[in-house]
Amino acid sequence: PVEKKMVLEAKIFSNDTLKANTGISGFGYDIYRDKALYIHQPNIPAVPGYKGFRSPDDALKVASVMQYKIQENILPPSISIAELDSLGVGR
């Protein structure tokens, strides 16, 4: 049987647009798996506190790594400080 490959899509958002007033600024990302919300990430993972990404580009870099890990079945997908640094993601 042919295995169906999952469809992953990342969407970047500004935390200012969230309905829940969390007081967090910056950007975050959502990852959809087969059109269903799979990960909602308004803050920078692996970083203490609750701080959004500085730019949409930073959020997209991390979302892309997470998509890769999900696609490769590296679960649960996570990111380390070293990976953030190697991507050039500001904290």
Please give the single-letter amino acid code of residue 91. Answer: R
Asked if residue 27 lies in contact with residue 64, where contact means CB atoms within 8 angstroms, the answer is: no
CA proximity to 68, closest of 55, 79, 54, 82: 79
| Whether pLDDT at 18 is above 80 | no
**pTM attached to this predicted model:** 0.88
Asked if residue 22 lies in contact with residue 50, where contact means CB atoms within 8 angstroms, the answer is: yes
pLDDT of residue 25: 87
| Whether pLDDT at 91 is above 90 | no
Of all residues in the chain, the percent with pLDDT exceeding 90 is 74
Round to whole Å and give the CA distance between 75 and 52: 23
Can you read off the two tokens belonging to residue 59? 């959020």
Residue with tokens 């500001």: 90
What does the chain come to in residues?
91
